[in-house]
Amino acid sequence: KPFLQGKHLVITAGGTRERLDPVRYISNDSSGKMGTALANIAAAAGAAVTLVTTAKRPVLPNIQVQQVQSAVEMQAAVDHQFADCDAVIMAAAVSDYRPKTVSDHKLKKPNATAGLTLELEQNPDILAGLGRQKTTQLVVGFAAETDDVLVNAAKKLQTKHADLLIANRVGQGIGFDQETNAVWLMRPNQAPEAIAEAPKTVIAAKILQMLATMMG
């Protein structure tokens, strides 16, 4: 039997886009490759998959895709599915901040020399919110770190009440927008499990096998 048959997974992918005006936004280098790989492998393993994504990448036809832009839209889409799913995997790179005001017209440059100060406000932490609300669902997060990867990831596992955290090093050509990844799987009260550098589809399969074992 396919190892995720009968399970409903909600998976997020891509970097959120936080609008400044109709043609500009703040975002990050996430390509959505990891989240999309997770969605495709999960669907191939028999899961019903809802993919909440900012990325436009090919997915298997039986995946329910919900296209979103901002963190607030992503949260609404995920929260809507949460009661009815077995696990959420937050692979999206969610912007921590968004512009405080969104202009409905293209912002103009007032004069040639003045600088511009943007006022930002905090976005909700979607994963932490799920960690607080969860009942039977498993909640999975990612931690992209430039330094002290395991220490920082262990803190996130705990503060966000995640059941599984995938930690990876980013920057200097590793992680974001790459075809491969090297990660640690971290669970509460367990030693981190290293997965050596491999294509994101292989990493995705290992993460999903771990999740399937945890779901029983």
Contact between 94 and ligand C5P per CB under 6 A: yes
Closest CA to 167 of 137, 146, 198, 190: 146
Tell me if 176 is assigned to a ligand binding site. no
Place of tokens 């997965």: 195
Question: Which of 32, 131, 141, 175 is in the footprint of ligand C5P by CB under 6 A?
Answer: 141
Is residue 125 close enough to count as binding ligand C5P by CB under 6 A?
yes
d(CA 165, CA 160): 10
- Residues facing residue 25 across a β-bridge: 19
Options 68, 71, 77, 183; binder of ligand C5P; rule CB under 6 A:
71
| Least separation in angstroms between CB 75 and ligand C5P | 8
Q: Which residues contact 42 (CB under 8 A, 6 or more apart)?
A: 4, 9, 11, 49, 204, 208
Write out the H or E segment, with its range, that includes residue 51. strand 48-53
Nearer to ligand C5P, 40 or 123 (CB): 123
CB of 2 to ligand C5P, least distance (A): 25
The yes or no reply on residue 142 touching ligand C5P (CB under 6 A) is yes
Residues 39-68, interacting with ligand C5P (CB under 6 A): none
Rounded to a whole number of angstroms, the minimum distance from the CB of residue 50 to ligand C5P is 15
Q: 28 catalytic, yes or no?
A: yes
Helix then strand then coil, in percent of the chain rounded to 5, is 25, 30, 45
Q: Is 127 in the site for ligand C5P (CB under 6 A)?
A: yes
**Distance between CA atoms of residues 208 and 214, nearest Å:** 10
Instruction: Using CB under 6 A, list all residues that contact ligand C5P.
Output: 71, 90, 92, 94, 96, 123, 125-127, 141-143, 156
